[in-house]
Each structure stands twice: as structure tokens, then as C-alpha cells.
Amino acid sequence: MADQPDRALEELYQELILDHYRRPRNKGTLEPHTHHIELTNPSCGDELEVDLFVAGDTIADARFSGRGCSISQASASMMTQLIKGKTVREARALAARFNEMMHGSADAARDKALGEARSLVGVARFPVRVKCALLGWNALEEGTKSSL
């Protein structure tokens, strides 16, 4: 019992997550871009900006910037990797899938379509951190609402 929380922590802070935190992929801004979304979490001060370049209906490029905890940064980094080359509709479907995983869906956690983002499955056990993992995905969903 005593070491159960430690196992949850080890699952939360997997090497892959720390790798994305320390060496974020697609970090920076995108010029030119077709979409720019800024989201902040006023309760903790985390800030995240997502830039997209959408050509036709395909996300040709995606970047993110800002600062925050390992979970928000790693999640945004993994998201940009996943959505590049996808259509806006496909990317939004991934966001919905990721959301399901964050809310405990075992089915979503097995979905290979989520790629490395599946490593964030452990966040679901820490309800206060779920909003960190969702920050980038929420930006994606909000910014592409009108692109459908």
C-alpha cells in the first residue's frame, strides 16, 4: 500500500515524458501561420501558444511555445508530432480520443493512433494534473473550431 503512490508516480513521470519535457519537439513559433492560439491556466500561471499552418484541410506544420510543467510541455510536444500531416478533422478526432484517455478510458489508452501521447495515460490518476495534459489539445480544438 505504502509504495502504491510511488508506482503511480513512476508511471506518471516516464522517461519518454521527461524526454519530451527536456527536449521538446516542434517548440517555437511558426511564421507564417494560419492559426495562432494562446491558452493560459490562470490558477497556475502556465501559458501555452500553438501555431498551425493549415494548407487545404491538412495541418502542414505545428509548433508550440510557452512555459509550464513537465506534463503540459510533454503533452503539447507529443501533440504537435501527432497532428502534423493530419487533416484538421483527423487532428480533432485525436484530441477527442486523448480527452477520453484523460478521463479514464482504457480503450482510448490502447488506441495506437495516439502514438507517444499514450505514455501520458498515468496522468488520469492525478485529477488535478489532467488540465495540464489537456492544455495543448484544448488549444488545438479551440483554434480549429471554425476550420471545419
Partner 1 sequence: MSPRTAPASLRRDVRDDFPILRQPSNGHRLVYLDSAATSQKPQVVIDAIASYYGGLNANVHRGGYDLALRATDAYEEARARLAAFVGAPDPRGVIFVRGTTEGINLIASSLGQLKVKSGDSIVVTAMEHHSNLIPWQLLAQARGAQLVMVELTPDGRIDLEDFRRALEQEPRIVAFTHVSNALGTINPVAELVRLTHDAGAVAVVDGAQSAPHLAVDVHALDCDFFVLSGHKMLGPMGIGAVIGKPELLDAMPPYHGGGEMIHVVRDTTATYAPLPQKFEAGTPNVEGAIALGAAIEYLRGLGMDAIAAHERQLVGYALAQLSAIEGMTIYGPMDERAGVISFTLADIHPHDLATIVDQDGVAIRAGHHCTQPLMRRLNVSATARASFYVYNTEEDVDVLVVALQKARRLFGLTHG
Say how many residues touch partner 1, by CB under 8 A: 27
Q: What string of DSSP letters covers 18-55? A: HHHHHS-TTBS--SS-SEEEEEEETTTTEEEEEEEEEE
Q: Is 70 in the site for partner 1 (CB under 8 A)?
A: yes
By three-state DSSP, how is residue 68 classified?
coil
Q: Is 9 in the site for partner 1 (CB under 8 A)?
A: yes
CA torsion, points 69, 24, 64, 77, in degrees to nearest 10? -80
Residue (85 or 127) nearer to partner 1, CB: 127
Give me the residue label for grid cell 484541410: 57
By three-state DSSP, how is residue 10 classified?
helix
- Residue from 68, 92, 94, 144 touching partner 1 (CB under 8 A): that is 68
- Contact call for residues 50 and 64 (beta carbons, < 8 A): yes
CA distance 47 to 70: 13
Q: Segment contacting partner 1 (CB under 8 A): 68-76, 80-88, 100-108, 134-142?
A: 68-76
Least CB distance to partner 1 at residue 46 (A): 7
Residue (94 or 132) nearer to partner 1, CB: 132
Q: Is 45 in the site for partner 1 (CB under 8 A)?
A: yes
Least CB distance to partner 1 at residue 76 (A): 13
Residues at the interface with partner 1 (CB under 8 A): 1-2, 4-6, 8-10, 12-13, 15, 18, 22, 43-47, 67-71, 126, 128-129, 132
